[in-house]
């Protein structure tokens, strides 16, 4: 008996609201491995972009103004989500409202891209409520990071659509991030992701250094995001297939023992045995707390990644840092762990 038949046999779909009926449809959705890569439509200046808040609520009204002004400065017209400023506990509105804004933006033909205003927590709650059929029929870029990892991976797993792990609407839009955004979305370049070197007044470069775990090169589709959010999707239909993928990870504010626990989750579920390459970004504020001592992040990566024998490095400018790479989840890339770089190998937008 398949999932759809099982759900109907239990009578769970009878008398449900439209949103809950959609949820039960997703439970019977296609196997993530069946999804084929879908390229989003390209962007240009003057397009309308939708601004949504799928996770935590923003605690200062001026943040909405900052996000809108940022997108306008990039050359876009901005359409705020209907529930953008809602609040429900720590969340930016109830689940149905937050999911509804994303569904509306994908369905709206005038909206050419979707920008998430911030991360936080709560995005995983809305994954069963997203309208993946509409998303698949209206492929457009969606940008954000941190908790937005849940949405990126769910959309890619359920539809095959390439999404973008990068600055949120209220994030840092410095010259590095703006230049990279323009190269990727306006110029449609095959971006090479190489750490910016900042020597300063020191004798050697210390900032943005990479550490090679295992040298070598690998090619494959890149997937990943925030480690905490990603492992929270384990066992669900919203996690992509890891076979022959390049996995990238980042995190913030986690003690090393928690990083160790989450890496063990990836190992125990078999994900690490399937990947072809590994890139660890930044783990900001991940220093050990007091007690009997702690493993370091480097030791944890040596324990879990080194034995795999695959090309791997840490230190990429990915994560909770002001200058961050915009990583196209679902795109084909080539990595060189010895040099600490990766680059896109194919166009990611429709012609």
Greatest distance between any 2 Cα atoms in the chain: 70
Whole-angstrom distance, CA of residue 259 vs CA of residue 154: 22
Whole-angstrom distance, CA of residue 37 vs CA of residue 276: 18
**Whole-number Cα distances in Å, 282 to 120, 235, 274, 319, 322:** 17, 26, 23, 6, 11
Catalytic residue among 83, 146, 152, 165: 146
3-state DSSP call for residue 237?
A: coil
Catalytic residue among 83, 152, 165, 320: 320
**C-alpha gyration radius of the chain:** 20
Is 320 annotated in the active site? Answer: yes
Whole-angstrom distance, CA of residue 138 vs CA of residue 106: 6
At residue 146's C-alpha, the angle toward residues 127 and 332, to 5°, is 85
Whole-angstrom distance, CA of residue 32 vs CA of residue 156: 8
Tokens 């509105």, residue located? 93
Catalytic residue among 55, 56, 152, 250: 250
Sheet holding 192-194, edge to edge: 192-194, 341-344, 332-336, 217-226, 245-252, 277-284, 312-314, 211-214
Mention every residue, 6+ apart, whose C-beta is less than 8 A from residue 44.
186
3-state DSSP call for residue 34?
A: helix
Mention every residue, 6+ apart, whose C-beta is less than 8 A from residue 134.
103, 106, 107
Q: Which two tokens stand for residue 38?
A: 């879908």
Cβ distance 292 to 198 under 8 Å? no
β-bridge mates for residue 161, sequence order: 38
3-state DSSP call for residue 252?
A: strand
Whole-angstrom distance, CA of residue 170 vs CA of residue 118: 6
Would you name the residues annotated as active-site residues?
A: 146, 250, 320
């Amino acid at each position: 008996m398949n999932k759809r038949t099982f759900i109907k046999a239990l009578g769970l779909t009878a008398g449900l609201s439209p949103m809950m009926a959609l949820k039960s449809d997703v439970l019977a959705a296609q196997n993530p491995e069946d999804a084929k890569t879908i390229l989003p439509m390209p962007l240009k200046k003057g397009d309308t972009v939708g601004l949504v808040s799928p996770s935590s609520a923003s605690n200062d009204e001026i943040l909405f103004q900052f996000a809108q002004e940022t997108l306008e400065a990039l050359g876009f017209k901005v359409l705020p989500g209907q529930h953008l400023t809602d609040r429900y506990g720590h969340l930016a509105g109830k689940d149905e409202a937050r999911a509804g804004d994303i569904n509306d933006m994908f369905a709206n033909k005038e909206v050419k891209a979707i920008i998430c205003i911030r991360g936080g927590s709560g995005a995983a709650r809305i994954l069963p409520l997203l309208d993946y059929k509409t998303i698949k029929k209206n492929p457009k870029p969606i940008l954000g990071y941190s908790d937005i990892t849940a949405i990126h991976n769910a959309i890619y797993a359920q539809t095959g659509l390439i999404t973008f792990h990068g600055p949120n609407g209220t994030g840092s839009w410095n010259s590095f991030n703006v230049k990279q955004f323009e190269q990727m979305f306006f110029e449609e370049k095959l971006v090479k992701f190489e750490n910016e070197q900042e020597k300063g007044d020191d004798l050697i470069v210390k900032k943005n250094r990479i550490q090679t775990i295992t040298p070598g090169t690998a090619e494959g589709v890149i997937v990943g995001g925030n480690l905490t959010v990603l492992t929270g999707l384990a066992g669900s239909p919203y996690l992509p297939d890891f076979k022959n993928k390049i996995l990238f990870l980042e995190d913030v504010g986690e003690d090393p023992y928690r990083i160790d626990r989450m890496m063990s989750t990836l190992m125990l579920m078999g994900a690490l045995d399937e990947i072809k390459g590994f890139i660890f970004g930044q783990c900001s504020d991940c220093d050990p707390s007091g007690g009997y001592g702690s493993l370091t992040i480097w030791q944890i990566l040596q324990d879990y990644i080194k034995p795999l024998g695959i090309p791997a490095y840490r230190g990429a400018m990915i994560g909770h840092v002001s200058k961050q790479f915009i990583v196209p989840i679902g795109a084909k890339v080539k990595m060189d762990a010895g040099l600490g770089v990766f680059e896109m190998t194919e166009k990611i937008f429709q012609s």
